[in-house]
Each structure stands twice: as structure tokens, then as C-alpha cells.
Amino acid sequence: MSIDDITLNFSPGSLTLLNAILAIVMFSIAIDLKPRDFRALARGPRPLITGLISQFLVLPVLTFALVWITEPRASIALGLILVAACPGGNISNFITHRAGGNAALSVSMTAFATVGAIFLTPLNIALWGSLYPPTRAILQETEIDPVQIAITVSLMLILPLVLGIQLNLRHPELTARLRKPLQYLSFGIFIAFIVLALAANWNFFLGYAGMVAGLVVIHNALALSGGYATATLAGLSPFNRRAVTIETGIQNSGLGLVLIFAFFNGLGGMAVVAAFWGIWHAISGIGLAAIMARSPAAREEALG
């Protein structure tokens, strides 16, 4: 049976659990934010604008080029397009800090990208998916509603974001105590969830993971390279360039999984791509951070 014809075993209860996990993840990001962070970026918005262009324009273009050149199975291609359309992932903030980059910029990029995802995620899925004939056929068959995707993204990501910022404003001492444990907890339960979800479909995953592993690795490398190149062309400092690079290469694959199961009935190739992304981008990001941290340039700028 073709990977395009297989759907993963994923119960409604599991989907509800994943939604809750993502809400916790988003909340853990939001308690790092205050309104003044957004005002500071408004006074010097170039790094933020560069990051959002890299996230929502450069990465989808590079993804479409990869799909067009390699011509993977339709469901795999649409999985790559969907992951590229998602905002940055929560672990990007942790990894940026480890890399000696601007963690405040990373957190703000995640927040702004999450808000922008209400409109830009469904737009990018529809646009780039419709330009490649095999994925266009899937979109036509599923008849996804961009408004419903926007509502899903809003409830899952924006509400926890607002609540987290409010808690940080009103009870900063509490958020200071919660910040580190909540970040580690959210990352741990997300990885555990992916492992458990794969365990329920282990034979299928083993049978088809080889078809997507190479593409996901190349795709992630393109994302990181695209972020670095965009930040370099924009003339950003090493401190900010590291944040943009990592934010572009770390995608919210958990949101991707929710959209796949909610709107594409757990289509096999898409789900395997998102699940593999969820594992691989953590490995590549932490490895890149270890390399970047060896250079003192960004650390000196941060201290200065």
C-alpha cells in the first residue's frame, strides 16, 4: 500500500492531549514576555522583521524548491510544505540561549510568528500546496477550510500566549519560579508524546521512515541555512543572526501534527514527516548550538 493511502492510528483523545501539550508549551514561552519587550522591538524592528521574512517567506520558497526538485510522494511533499508553514517551535528559545544568541529576540519571534500563523499558516499551505500538482490533488480532496485552521491555531496558541503574558505582568515572582521547570516539562512531555504516538504506529513508521528521513534532514538543513543567509544579507549582528537562524530551523511540528490529524485524517506521509521533524530538529538544533557556543562573538556582544 502506498504511503499516500495510509492513515495513522490516532484517537480523538490523543489529539485532545496533544492540543493540551501545545497549550502548555505556548504558555511556557509566554511567561517570558512582557509588553515592554514588544515595544523595544518596535523601536528596532529590523531583526524581528528579518526573522519573520525568513520564517514565512524564505523557508516556504526553499521548501517548494526542494519538493519540485526531488518530487517525493504527494503526502510527503505536503507534509514538508505544512511543516514549513508552521511558526517556530518552543525549543528554539532554549536552543538560541545555548547557542549564545539573542534569546529575547527568539522568544519575541516565536510570539509574533504564532500570532501571524493565524493567517500565514493556512495561506502558505494553500498557496504552495496548490502550485505542486500532486499536493494540489490532496488539497482538493480534503477541502480544508483556512478559516477553521485559523480558529484552531488561535485557540491552541494565542490564548495561552495572552494568559502567559498576563500572568507575567501581574505575578512576576511566580513566573520567575515557573519559567525553567515549565520549559523543561513542556519539552519533555512533547517528546514523550511523539514517542508514544509512534509506538502506536511503530510498524508503519519503521516501514516508511526511510522514505522521509533524508528529505527531513535536507529540509532542516535548508531551513537553518536559509535563516542564516537571510540574517546575513540583512546585516544583522552575530547575536541576532543566531536567533534568526535557529528560529527558522526549529518548526512547531506539534502544531503540524494537530493540523494533519484534524484536517487531513492523519495522512501517512504527512504525519511521518511532522513526527520525524519533531525529533530531528531538536538533535540538529542542539548540535548547532554547541558549535555556535564555541565562538565568543555573540557572547561578547550579549555581555556588552
pLDDT at 68 over 80: yes
| Residue 304 pLDDT | 44
pLDDT at 300 over 50: no
Indicate the domain borders of the chain. Answer: 3-298
Grid cell in block for residue 269: 506521509
| Residue 224 pLDDT | 96
- Rounded to an integer, the average pLDDT of 117-133 is 90
| Residue 87 pLDDT | 87
Grid cell in block for residue 117: 500563523
| Residue 95 pLDDT | 84
| Residue 203 pLDDT | 65
| Residue 216 pLDDT | 93
Question: Contact at 8 Å (CB) between 244 and 51?
Answer: yes
Exposure string over 129-158, b if 16+ CB within 10 A, otherwise e: beebebbbebbeeeebeeeebbebbeebbb
CATH code that applies to domain 3-298: 1.20.1530.20
Average pLDDT, the chain: 80
Grid cell in block for residue 110: 516565536
Which residue type, as a one-letter code, is found at position 208? Y
Confidence bin at 164 (pLDDT 50/70/90): confident
> Any idea which of 8-12, 63-67, 253-257, 285-289 has the lowest mean pLDDT?
8-12
Rounded to 10 degrees, what is the CA torsion of 150, 4, 63, 259?
A: 20
- Rounded to an integer, the average pLDDT of 19-31 is 73
- Rounded to an integer, the average pLDDT of 237-256 is 89
- Rounded to an integer, the average pLDDT of 246-275 is 83
pLDDT at 150 over 80: no
Q: Decide which of 223 and 297 is more confident.
A: 223
| Residue 112 pLDDT | 82
pLDDT at 133 over 50: yes
Q: Decide which of 190 and 301 is more confident.
A: 190
| Residue 229 pLDDT | 97
Distance CA(161)–CA(179), nearest Å, equals 14
Q: Is 88 helix (H, G, I), strand (E, B) or coil?
A: strand
Confidence bin at 296 (pLDDT 50/70/90): low
Question: Contact at 8 Å (CB) between 161 and 26?
Answer: yes
Give the count of alpha carbons within 13 A of 225, CB side only.
Answer: 9
Closest CA relative to residue 261, chosen from 56, 21, 2, 79: 79
| Residue 280 pLDDT | 86
Confidence bin at 173 (pLDDT 50/70/90): confident
Closest CA relative to residue 4, chosen from 273, 279, 278: 273
Residues contacting residue 253 through CB under 8 Å, at least 6 positions apart: 83, 86, 89, 274, 275, 277, 278, 281
Closest CA relative to residue 97, chosen from 289, 281, 231, 228: 289
pLDDT at 303 over 50: no
Distance CA(248)–CA(221), nearest Å, equals 10
- Rounded to an integer, the average pLDDT of 56-75 is 94
103: DSSP letter: H
Distance CA(29)–CA(24), nearest Å, equals 9
pLDDT at 302 over 50: no
pLDDT at 226 over 70: yes
